[in-house]
Structure 1
Amino acid sequence: GQGALPSIRSILALKVFKRAMSCPAGAIRVIKKFHAHSQKEGAGFIVRRPIGGSSLSDQEADPFLLLDELPRTNYAPGEFPGAPWHPHRGFDTVMYMKEGRGDHEDSMGNKGSLTDGDCQWMTAGAGILHNEGTNHPGGYLHGFQCWINLPKDKKMTPPAYQDIRSSSIPVVTCNDKVKAKVIAGSCAGQDAVCQTIIPVQYIDFMVEPGGEFLHEVPAEMETRILYVYK
């Protein structure tokens, strides 16, 4: 499947949409709404997990396998335990660092840091070992990690990653109360710099109170998931 995963800053909830044949052209209806549950991840930090639990079936979420939010938290130096060396295979992992700094390295010899607004789009493909978030210097952390399934014929793709700095991620002013950070796909005529194996949209909408915006999603993207956070 193909999908779109926008997120809007407000409350902690997730909505799943499907095209509604009885609605006006382009309209969609909400088929499921629920709150993300919290659980431990990595070496013991807490995440909110709207995708990857029992609230959505694999078919409903396809191609999205998992979405974790690392809630905005102020950590003392060395307090954040991170996610020590662990394997990935057969899907993309996308780390969007909303605020803070996170170091990472992998079995291909790549090393780097993500800071405020940066994104790492990693294709695990045939397999990769990854270490992230250890040796944190302290301060606020707020981020999101999403896993996106790859088609069967792409699962053995050689591992690769795109390190995308915040300065190169387009931010669209939709109106006086809505801005959109285009991480993948397109919004309001602005294309993301990130290249994806399957068609997907990943957009961070920043909405002020009372703000509204109509975002057109391509018809082939049948899975449309909106994660609402603050």
Structure 2
Amino acid sequence: MHKSFELQPGARPLVRGVGSQASADGAGVRIQRVAGFDSPDFSPFLMLDEIRSENADDYIAGFPPHPHRGIETLTYMLNGEFEHQDHLGNRGAVASGGAQWMRAGRGIIHSEMPSQAPGGMHGFQLWINMAAANKMDKPSWRDIQSTEIPELALDGGEGASEGSLIRLIAGEWTIGGEEKHAPLTDAAAEAAVADIRLGAGAEVLMPLPETHSVLVYVYSGALVTERGTIGRGNMLLYGAGESLQLRAHTEGAGLLCLHGLPLREPVAHYGPFVMNSREEIEQALRDYNNGTLTD
């Protein structure tokens, strides 16, 4: 019998869960998507796509050249490889365990093409909103290889299983009472991203900034919460508090944990462009059609 879940003092309550939806993007890449463009609870995050397939036909066509303005993207691979190219001349590949970050700012045109690696493809792309004051900043990009990402043991205390760990991809975290920095620390809105893997029945309590939104995506196994057991493919949104309490079910859990500063600004979204007004979206479309998006 699994013991009941009791929320610790100061821990953030689970407000709601949002299930991912089957979709397709790029040149027909099959994905599971969680979109939060219209939800203040998601801010500063906008959308998470999960690519998960052992069938190359589901993803091999990739994402041919396309534009963006007003956002940042963070791609993280559990398995497989993607290569990035953009109009600035940047080119680089990221393989299993690595990440790529891109700031579109004023405008970037890029492609993301997968390799047909053994074992299929399993990865994520997160869209992060940029503050209105920064949406027209100069674009930039970087690779973060797997060897650059700190991988730390998590002390889950009583009842925790061996093998629980956290991989710090972006932002700042407090682990074991110590401040830890991920390799990417200049993401918009203080956005922080970590891959957490909990052993069977493991429980952790992690301090997080009280001013930040907190979201957790379950990509494997299941979490036990005060609202019941929640399996993979679900994004969980948490309320106010000073810490995040996570407990894996008997099969363990793989999670993407996100926290960031809510922007509290209007969001206007059309395809690859995210701005603050319909007029700015129309301007982005004119700039792209006129060939001046990246000027």
* Normalised TM-score (structure 2): 0.64
| CA 24–174 in structure 1, closer or farther in 2 if over 3 Å, else same | closer
Does the CA-based 8 Å contact 2:44-2:189 persist in structure 1? no
Report the CA distance between 1:191 and its aligned residue. Answer: 1.3
Corresponding position: 1:36 with 2:20: yes
Report the CA distance between 1:75 and its aligned residue. Answer: 2.0
Corresponding position: 1:27 with 2:43: no
Which residue of the partner structure matches residue 116 of structure 2? Answer: 137
Which letter maps to 2:206? H
Report the Cα distance in structure 1 between the residues aligned to 2:64 and 2:109, rounded to whole angstroms. 10
| Greater RCO, 1 or 2 (C-alpha within 8 Å, sep 6+) | 1
Deviation string 1:18-38 (CA, Å, 9 cap, x unpaired) is xxxxx8653111111132111
| CA 110–210 in structure 1, closer or farther in 2 if over 3 Å, else same | same
Report the Cα distance in structure 2 between the residues aligned to 1:28 and 1:122, rounded to whole angstroms. 30
Corresponding position: 1:225 with 2:215: yes
Report the Cα distance in structure 2 between the residues aligned to 1:52 and 1:29, rounded to whole angstroms. 19
Report the Cα distance in structure 2 between the residues aligned to 1:194 and 1:90, rounded to whole angstroms. 19
Unaligned runs of 5+ in 2: 1-6, 156-161, 221-295
Deviation string 1:152-202 (CA, Å, 9 cap, x unpaired) is 111111000121111011111003242001111224032101122321220
Which residue of the partner structure matches residue 184 of structure 2? Answer: 194
Report the Cα distance in structure 1 between the residues aligned to 2:28 and 2:91, rounded to whole angstroms. 23
User: Which protein shows a greater Rg?
Assistant: 2
> Alignment partner of 1:108: what SS?
coil
Which residue of the partner structure matches residue 45 of structure 1? Answer: 29
Report the Cα distance in structure 1 between the residues aligned to 2:31 and 2:125, rounded to whole angstroms. 10
Report the Cα distance in structure 2 between the residues aligned to 1:208 and 1:172, rounded to whole angstroms. 14
Which residue of the partner structure matches residue 40 of structure 2? Answer: 59
Which letter maps to 1:36? S
Report the Cα distance in structure 1 between the residues aligned to 2:130 and 2:92, rounded to whole angstroms. 25
Does the CA-based 8 Å contact 2:93-2:143 persist in structure 1? no
Which residue of the partner structure matches residue 73 of structure 1? Answer: 54
Bigger CA drift: 139-148 or 28-37?
A: 28-37
* Normalised TM-score (structure 1): 0.82
Report the Cα distance in structure 1 between the residues aligned to 2:145 and 2:68, rounded to whole angstroms. 23
> Alignment partner of 1:117: what SS?
coil
Does the CA-based 8 Å contact 1:45-1:80 persist in structure 2? yes
Which letter maps to 1:105? Q
Deviation string 1:114-167 (CA, Å, 9 cap, x unpaired) is 111111111111110010115x33431111000000101111110001211110
Candidates 105, 108, 116, aligned match of 1:128: 108
Corresponding position: 1:181 with 2:167: yes
Corresponding position: 1:105 with 2:65: no
Report the Cα distance in structure 2 between the residues aligned to 1:126 and 1:192, rounded to whole angstroms. 26
Report the Cα distance in structure 2 between the residues aligned to 1:41 and 1:85, rounded to whole angstroms. 12
Report the Cα distance in structure 1 between the residues aligned to 2:130 and 2:59, rounded to whole angstroms. 34
Bigger CA drift: 81-90 or 181-190?
A: 181-190
Report the Cα distance in structure 2 between the residues aligned to 1:150 and 1:25, rounded to whole angstroms. 33
Does the CA-based 8 Å contact 1:74-1:138 persist in structure 2? no
**What RMSD over aligned residues (CA atoms) do the two structures have, in Å?**
1.9
Report the Cα distance in structure 2 between the residues aligned to 1:33 and 1:154, rounded to whole angstroms. 30
Does the CA-based 8 Å contact 2:90-2:141 persist in structure 1? no
Bigger CA drift: 194-203 or 107-116?
A: 194-203
Number of corresponding residues:
202
> Alignment partner of 1:167: what SS?
helix
